[in-house]
């Protein structure tokens, strides 16, 4: 079953058609990559799905219509995201940064109703810390962290809300090759554990190495969609990337 289903979504900024009729599905526990050259519309897609920009088209989460809902209502239904710049509360510890996301009683009640069981904020924050391998940094202040560690905390913070789907906007930016590979292993494990992920990143070996399915945007349109092995050899994708370099 699709956890996230997006059909024919379009977004215009004034005269600029940032997205045209883009459709994309994410199944339970699936890791879907969304790639494309700079300016292709990837962040705009996440902004549209999370309700930060007005979009035409239809979007459903667990079969429920999201169209027209404000961002906080979408988040409460289980849609989480990270941002390109992971803004953390600098004077708080890593654990406190996660707890802020997790500690919302009404949120947890609503999520419990959706899932049909009680869910506890503390356990979700602890699980998110361990899912990203951040246990040893739990009591470090955010301002002490490296750029790579900040990205991991941004992902953990999104997970601490106990989401159904997390949209990850360039989580590997600022990570070195080894850190990026480690992040990839952790994202794969999170998806295998049942949390669906939509991954935007420019690190092709990361995206192609861990995703079940990859969607390619160029100039706001889907030019390819399929398993990584198929997308990697698609002539339209090769042209889009060679043309952009
Ligand atoms: P990148 O890989 O560089 O982050 P992207 O694929 O995420 O790029 P978007 O940031 O979604 O692309 O931009 C898609 C298009 O919409 C671009 O042409 C961009 O200039 C334009 N755009 C994005 N945000 C705005 C805005 N707030 N106002 C006007 N145009 C915008």
Cα–Cα dist 176/155, whole Å: 17
User: Could you tell me the pLDDT band of residue 245, with boundaries at 50, 70 and 90?
Assistant: very low
Ligand 1 centroid, distance to 42 Cα (angstroms): 8
Pocket test for ligand 1, best of 39, 170, 199 (most atoms within 8 A of CB): 39
What mean pLDDT value characterizes the chain? 89
Q: Specify which residues 19 forms β-bridges with.
A: 11
User: Could you tell me the pLDDT band of residue 112, with boundaries at 50, 70 and 90?
Assistant: low
Cα–Cα dist 168/50, whole Å: 12
User: Could you tell me the pLDDT band of residue 102, with boundaries at 50, 70 and 90?
Assistant: low
- Higher-confidence residue of 125 and 16: namely 16
Ligand 1: residues whose CB is within 6 Å?
A: 13, 16, 18, 36, 38-44
Mapped onto helix, strand or coil, the DSSP state of residue 7 is strand
Query: Is the Cα dihedral 72, 168, 152, 61 positive or negative?
Result: positive
User: Could you tell me the pLDDT band of residue 122, with boundaries at 50, 70 and 90?
Assistant: low
Cα–Cα dist 151/62, whole Å: 27
Whole-complex ipTM? 0.95
Cα–Cα dist 144/72, whole Å: 30
Q: Which residues of 40-66 are buried (b: 16+ CB within 10 A; e: fewer)?
A: bbbbbbbbbbbbebebebebbbbeeeb
- By the 8 A CB rule, do 31 and 210 touch? yes
Ligand 1 centroid, distance to 83 Cα (angstroms): 14
Ligand 1 centroid, distance to 206 Cα (angstroms): 22
Give the whole-number percent of the chain exceeding pLDDT 70. 89
Cα–Cα dist 97/142, whole Å: 8
pTM score:
0.90
Q: Specify which residues 141 forms β-bridges with.
A: 93
- Higher-confidence residue of 9 and 14: namely 9
Average pLDDT of the residues in 86-92 = 86
């Amino acid at each position: 079953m699709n956890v996230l289903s997006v059909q024919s979504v379009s977004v215009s900024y004034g005269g600029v058609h940032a997205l045209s009729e883009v459709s994309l599905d994410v199944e339970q526990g699936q890791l879907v990559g969304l790639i494309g050259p700079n300016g292709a519309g990837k962040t705009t897609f996440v902004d549209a799905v999370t309700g930060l920009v007005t979009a035409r088209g239809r979007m459903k989460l667990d079969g429920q219509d999201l169209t027209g809902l404000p961002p906080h209502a979408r988040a409460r239904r289980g849609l989480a995201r990270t941002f390109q710049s992971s803004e953390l509360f600098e004077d708080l510890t890593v654990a406190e940064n996660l707890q802020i996301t997790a500690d919302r009683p009404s949120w947890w009640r609503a999520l419990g109703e959706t899932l049909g069981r009680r869910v506890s904020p503390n356990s979700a924050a602890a699980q998110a810390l361990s899912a990203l391998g951040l246990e040893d940094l739990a009591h470090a202040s955010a301002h002490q962290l490296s750029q790579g560690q900040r990205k991991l905390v941004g992902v953990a913070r999104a997970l601490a809300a106990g989401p159904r789907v997390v949209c990850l906007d360039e989580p590997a930016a600022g990570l070195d090759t080894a850190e990026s590979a480690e992040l990839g292993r952790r994202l794969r494990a999170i998806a295998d554990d049942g949390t669906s992920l939509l991954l935007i990143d420019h690190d092709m070996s990361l995206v192609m190495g861990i995703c079940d399915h990859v969607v390619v945007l160029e100039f706001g349109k889907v030019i390819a969609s399929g398993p990584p092995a198929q997308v990697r050899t698609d002539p339209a994708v090769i042209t889009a990337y060679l043309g952009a370099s």
